[in-house]
A = this chain, B = another copy of it.
């Protein structure tokens, strides 16, 4: 039971680091969206997403399978894109 508590403590630490990194990533994506806006480029870039996924899968050492990693990052990409959209909507409302 003590071992379970130790592992749960480690899990909470990793969760907290993940939270920080996800938000760091979200801030970068938002900045990329702003630069693309200035340059008149489309926000959604499927080729770039595919490239990122390929790089991640190539670097994946598990325990998560390549498919699980792809699934999770696709979710992260989708939610990030939603973030750009909602910022845009906010801008349009100003």
Contacts and interface: CB of A to CB of B under 8 A. Distances in A.
A82 to B, nearest CB: 7
Given A55-B12, A71-B79, A7 B21 contact: no
28 contacts: A1-B39, A3-B35, A4-B32, A4-B36, A4-B39, A7-B32, A7-B35, A8-B32, A8-B48, A11-B28, A11-B52, A12-B52, A14-B24, A14-B28, A15-B25, A15-B52, A15-B56, A17-B21, A18-B18, A18-B21, A18-B76, A19-B56, A19-B69, A23-B62, A26-B64, A71-B75, A71-B79, A72-B76
Interface of A: 1, 3-4, 7-8, 10-12, 14-19, 21-32, 35-36, 39, 48, 52, 55-56, 59-64, 68-69, 71-73, 75-76, 79, 82-83
